[in-house]
Structure 1
Amino acid sequence: MIELDGSEGEGGGQILRTGLALSMITGRPLRIHRIRAKRSKPGLMRQHLACVNAAIDISHAQCAGAALGSQELHFVPGVIRAGDYRFAIASAGSCMLVLQTVLPALLLADGPSRVELQGGTHNPLAPSFDFVARAYAPLARKLGAGLDLELSRRGFYPAGGGAATACITPAAGGLIPLDLAQRGQAGTHGAECVVAGVPRSVARRELEALGAALDWSADQLLIVDGRQNEGPGNALTVTLEHSEVTEVFAAFGAKGIIAETVAKTLAAEVRAYLDSDAAMGPHLADQWLLLLALAVWKSGAPAYFTCNELTAHTLTNASVIQRFLPVVIRNAPCSRGYRIDVAPA
C-alpha cells in the first residue's frame, strides 16, 4: 500500500488526483490522510469527490472515505475498464480535473474510451478546456496516444453546467517518450476573450489592455460571444503556437476585478514565458510530467523537457509519481529556465 500525506508540498487536490491515477495504473492500494490540508476548506469538495467516484467507476475499486469533507481515503483499485463513461459535477467544479484523474489510466486500458463530462470547463485555478484541447492533447498524441476533445457548452464559475466529451485511444505500441528541449519555430500568437452574459465592453477593454501590454495588433485579438445560457462568464485566453509545443494561458473575470487588471495579470504570465526559450510554461510542465513518466516507465527510455518556471505543483507531482513508479525525476536550472529529467530507476 502507498500512503500519502495530503498536507505535503502544495497540499492541494493534485496529490489526490495523481495518487488515484497511479493507484489504478499500478494496482497498488492507496491511503491518503489530511486531504487538501493546506486549503481554506480542507477535505473532499464536490469536484474532488467526483474524481474519486470516477476512479472507482473505471477501475472497479473498493473505497472508504468517499464523502464530502472527508480528509481520509482508502482506495483499493481493481481492473481498469475501457468503455463509455459519463461523469458530472453538480456544481461549477472543474470537470477537466476529473478528466485529469482518469485519463492516464484510460490511456493504458485495453481499448478506446469515450468520456462525457459535465461541470465547469473554464475555472480559475484549474486547466481550462482550451488548455487541455490546444496544449495538452497535442502532446499526448506525440506520445502515440489518441486524445480528441469536443466542447458542447462552456461552464463558468459559479453557474457551471458546462459539457465536453473526450475520446481516448491507447497507444497501439505503447507510450513513446520524447524530449522537448525547445518550443520550436513560432507560429500564430493571439488572444480571444469569451463573454457570455457579460457586456462586450468588458471584452474590448481586456483585449485592448492585453494587446498594449504585449504589443500585439488588432488582428491578433478576437471577441467570442458565448451563448447566453453559458454565462455569466468571462474568459481571456492567449494561445501561443510553436512547431513543437502550443502553450495556452488564461485569466478569468470576476466580480470586483476590473478588466484591465485581468489583462495585466495574464500579460505578465505570457511575457515570462515568451522572455524565456523554454519548451513549456509552468502549468503545462505540471500536467505533462505524469504522462511522460508513464512513457518512460513503460518504454525504459529516459526523456526530458524544459520549462520557464518550476512550481510547487510540479515538485509535489514529481514526489507522488516517484512513490508509485520506478522512475527518477530530477530538475536543474538551465539557460531556458529549468530542465526536468525523467529516467528509469
Structure 2
Amino acid sequence: MPPIIIDDVFCYRGSNYLRMRLLLSTLSGRSVKIEGIRNKETDPGLKDYEVNLIRLLDKITNGTKVELGETGTTLFFQPGILIGGHVTHTCCTQRGIGYYLEVLLALGPFCKEPLNAVLQGVTHSELDVSVDKLKAAALPILLKFILVDDGLDLKVVRRGAPPLGGGEVVFKCPVQRHLRPLHWKEWGLVQRIRGVVYALRVSPTMANRVVDAAKGVMLKFLPDVYINTDQCQGPNAGSSPGYGISLVAETNDKTVYCAESQSAESGSDAILSPEDVGRECALKLLDEIHRGGTVDSSFQWLAALWMALGQKDVSQCVIGHPSEYTKMILRHLKDFFGVMFKLDVQWAEEADSSDEEEYSTPHKMKLTCVGIGYVNISRRTL
C-alpha cells in the first residue's frame, strides 16, 4: 500500500522493509514515520540490529533527527545531509555486515566526502549477503553507473562467523556528481567459475572437503573451475568457528553471478557437513545462472535504484525473475521519487514437447525508466 502523507511526512505501518524506507528517506530528504513496529509480537519494537543501522546512518549524515516511542514501536526519522568521510562502526552480530554494507554502497556515491568505512562484526551470515558476494557481484554493477572508479574498493581484513563475529572490512567509495544512464541488455555465456572457501577455527581439511564437493558438481558443466582456500588463523579467524564457500560465475559479457553457503543454518543449531555446504553452493549458483539476466538476483534492487537516480535519460536493464525485494523497491521508488518503471516480460521460446517443464528457460524482464537527474549537491568541487 502507498504511504499516507501527513505534513510532508511519509507514514508507514509495520517493520517490513524498514531498511529500504530509511535508505530512500536519506536519499530523498523526505521524513518518514513508521508505526506499529512488531506491536503484536511478544518482543515488540525495533530490534537491536535496526537501532544499530540507525546509528550508522547518523554517523554518515549531519543533522539527522530520530525519535523513538516509549515502547519502540514508533519511529520518526528526519534525514540529514550525507557527509561520508571516515567512519568506524561495530555492527550488531544479529545480522551480517552485508546488511549494513548494502546501505553504504547505495549512499556512498552521494556523500560530501569520499566514504571510508571500517565495519566490524559477522562477515558471513545466512541472513545477509556476505562481503565476498558484495565485492564480486555488487561493485561491478556500481562501476556501470559511476564516471570515475578511482578509490572504489572493498577489503576483507578479518573474517568472522556467527554468532560472535570478530570480522572486519574496509569499504571505500568515491563521490560522484551524478550517475550515468545504463543500457545493459546482454549477459553472454558463462566462461569460468571462481570461488573461495574460508575455514575459521576449524581443521584445514574442512576447506578441502568443501572444495572437492563443489568442484564435483561444477566440473560436470564447465572445465574452467578454480576455487581458492582461505584458512584463517589467529586473530584473522574471528571469534567463532565456521566454514563456508562463495562461488562466482563470470560471463564473456562481464556479467557476474554469485552464490554462497555457510556451515551454520539460520535459526538452527544444526551444522552442515563440508560436502553438503559445497554441493548446496554449487546448486545455488547453477540456479542463479539458470535465472539469467544482467545482474545477480540479490542486487537487482540496487540496479533499479541507481537507474532511477541517474541522469534524465532512458536507462534499460534486463533481469531474471524479479525478487520480492526488487518488486518492493520499484513501488517505493514511485512513492519517494515519482519514478515509474516500464516492465517488459520477455518470454523464452517454448520448449519442445519432449522437454520436461522443469528444464524450460525462465522468462526475463526488461526494466526501463527515465532517471530523475539526481545531483550530489554536497560534493566538493574545485
Q: Which moved more, 1:215-224 or 1:305-314?
A: 215-224
Query: 1:92, 1:161 → 2: CA distance?
Result: 13
Change (3 A) 1:263 1:33: farther
Which one-letter code corresponds to 2:248 in the other structure? Answer: T
* TM-superposed deviation, 1:40: 9.8
Q: Paired residue for 2:14, among 2, 6, 26?
A: 6
Q: Paired residue for 1:204, among 188, 203, 208?
A: 208
Aligned partners of 1:20 and 1:101 also within 8 Å: no
Query: 2:197, 2:28 → 1: CA distance?
Result: 41
Q: Paired residue for 2:154, among 149, 157, 161?
A: 149
Alignment of 1:58-97 (within 5 A): 58-59=60-61, 60-65=63-68, 70-91=72-93, 93-97=95-99
Q: Percent identity?
A: 20
Which one-letter code corresponds to 2:226 in the other structure? Answer: Q
CA deviation string 1:1-46 (max 9, x = no partner) = 1123335xxx3xxx22221122112111011234478999764333
Instruction: Look up the match of 1:182.
Output: 186
* TM-superposed deviation, 1:240: 1.3
Q: Paired residue for 2:302, among 269, 281, 287?
A: 287
Which one-letter code corresponds to 2:300 in the other structure? Answer: A
Query: 2:164, 2:154 → 1: CA distance?
Result: 22
Indicate yes or no: 2:340 matched with 1:340. Answer: no
* TM-superposed deviation, 1:187: 4.4
Indicate yes or no: 2:217 matched with 1:213. Answer: yes
Q: 2:207 aligns to what SS in structure 1?
A: helix
Aligned partners of 2:195 and 2:227 also within 8 Å: yes
Aligned partners of 1:153 and 1:162 also within 8 Å: yes
Query: 1:66, 1:105 → 2: CA distance?
Result: 27
Gaps spanning 5+ residues in structure 1: where?
none
Which one-letter code corresponds to 1:234 in the other structure? Answer: Y
Query: 1:119, 1:78 → 2: CA distance?
Result: 26
Change (3 A) 1:323 1:227: farther
Q: 2:305 aligns to what SS in structure 1?
A: helix
Aligned partners of 2:52 and 2:91 also within 8 Å: yes
Aligned residues: 334
Which one-letter code corresponds to 2:83 in the other structure? Answer: R
CA deviation string 1:102-136 (max 9, x = no partner) = 34333112331211111111111212111111211
Instruction: Look up the match of 2:3.
Output: none
* TM-superposed deviation, 1:193: 1.4
Q: 1:99 aligns to what SS in structure 2?
A: helix
Aligned partners of 1:130 and 1:248 also within 8 Å: no
Which one-letter code corresponds to 1:245 in the other structure? Answer: T
Change (3 A) 1:338 1:154: same
Which one-letter code corresponds to 1:5 in the other structure? Answer: R
Instruction: Look up the match of 2:360.
Output: none
CA RMSD of aligned residues (A): 2.7
Q: 1:207 aligns to what SS in structure 2?
A: helix
Which one-letter code corresponds to 1:72 in the other structure? Answer: T
Q: TM-score, normalised by structure 1?
A: 0.86
Which one-letter code corresponds to 1:150 in the other structure? Answer: K
Q: TM-score, normalised by structure 2?
A: 0.78
Change (3 A) 1:219 1:109: closer
Change (3 A) 1:4 1:171: same
Q: Which moved more, 1:97-106 or 1:308-317?
A: 97-106
Instruction: Look up the match of 2:55.
Output: 53
Indicate yes or no: 2:264 matched with 1:256. Answer: no
Change (3 A) 1:104 1:247: same
For the pair shown, the structure with the greater C-alpha radius of gyration is 2
* TM-superposed deviation, 1:265: 2.7
Aligned partners of 1:211 and 1:218 also within 8 Å: no
Q: Paired residue for 2:312, among 289, 296, 300?
A: 300
Aligned partners of 1:17 and 1:100 also within 8 Å: no
Query: 1:28, 1:218 → 2: CA distance?
Result: 49
Q: 2:303 aligns to what SS in structure 1?
A: helix
* TM-superposed deviation, 1:160: 0.9
Which one-letter code corresponds to 2:143 in the other structure? Answer: R
Aligned partners of 1:113 and 1:167 also within 8 Å: yes
Aligned partners of 2:11 and 2:34 also within 8 Å: yes
Query: 1:181, 1:272 → 2: CA distance?
Result: 20
Gaps spanning 5+ residues in structure 2: where?
1-8, 265-269, 349-362, 373-382
Instruction: Look up the match of 1:266.
Output: 281
Q: 2:139 aligns to what SS in structure 1?
A: helix
Q: 2:186 aligns to what SS in structure 1?
A: coil
Instruction: Look up the match of 2:327.
Output: 315
Query: 1:81, 1:156 → 2: CA distance?
Result: 31
Q: 1:22 aligns to what SS in structure 2?
A: helix
